[in-house]
Amino acid sequence: MIDQVVYTFSAKNAPTETVSSGATVVLRTMDCFSNQIKSSDQLVTSIDFDHINPATGPVYVESAMPGDVLKVEILDVTVDSAGTTTTLPDNGPLFENVETRTKIIRIKDNIASFNDVTFPIDPMIGVIGVAPCDKEVPCGYPGNHGGNMDNHLIKKGATLYFPVQVEGALFQCGDIHAVMGDCELCGTGLEIAGIITVKLTVIKEFKLGWPLLETADKWFSIASAPDYNTALKNVSLEMQDLICRTYGWDKTDAYLYMSIQGDVEICQACQPCLVDMILRLGIPKQDGRPLIQS
């Protein structure tokens, strides 16, 4: 089991392990606060913000080269018995009329207890991706390498596809949420440590501009930008390109189809926030027409 963490996505990060294409990897993760918060009496303002959003890894995948795609099948996500949620100063639409507060939330038999209500957990991965080729990106930020996408569909049973940008891909992940709503309104989900099991496979020579997500019934392009309009354009252009290549349609027909069958959904948009807005655009799967051949 891999448990070493880093705080950036970078080609400079030394691999913790080298695996062949098709290997299954198990990674032990800390929560987004690097397990610094121990009780509800401890405010988020007391922690070291140089050590947030750790990602376990990176993992060097043999034969992965720039221009390839790394396929990441999420086989399992398990979580510890308690997690943390907290408001963040100057973060989210309601920060001016709430207190900075920490809550420790207990989990038993996959049920979380919040005050006098309970609800089932649905563990997902907030930070996941590969190394960018030209810069170091803190793990708390998204980009076309993946990173902090905070997409609650990235969970057990889902498959992600990342554009490989450096030799070996340098895959890493972390920031599990036991449960999180779309937008992550106050800036945190139910932040928790846990164990992630993935299968890593190299797909040779496939052009991909942004991460692609496959669920049981849909394909989702995922993209980000500082503002909604730019994020929407990024995610739409990526899906348009994939549809044109897969279906053999021109750009206009792809655009029309996306308006009829596509859904644009918010992953994270807890504005104001230093982190870019992240969107996903999903279209239904069609038999015999996968957006990427794996």
Mean pLDDT by 10 residues, the chain (294 residues): 97 98 98 96 93 97 98 98 95 94 97 97 98 95 97 98 98 98 95 98 97 98 97 98 98 98 95 92 97 88
Q: So what's the pLDDT on residue 136?
A: 96
Classify residue 13 by its DSSP letter: S
Do residues 11 and 64 touch, judged by C-beta distance below 8 A?
no
Do residues 269 and 246 touch, judged by C-beta distance below 8 A?
no
Q: How many helices (H) and strands (E) does the chain have?
A: 2, 21
CA separation for the pair 22, 19 (Å, rounded): 8
Rounded CA Rg of the chain:
19
CA separation for the pair 91, 197 (Å, rounded): 32
Q: So what's the pLDDT on residue 117?
A: 97
Q: So what's the pLDDT on residue 122?
A: 98
Q: So what's the pLDDT on residue 293?
A: 83
pTM above 0.95, yes or no: yes
Q: So what's the pLDDT on residue 209?
A: 97
* Dihedral sign of CA atoms 250, 255, 257, 261 in order: positive
Beta-ladder partners of 160: 72, 213
Query: Has domain 5-211 been given CATH number 3.40.50.720?
Result: no
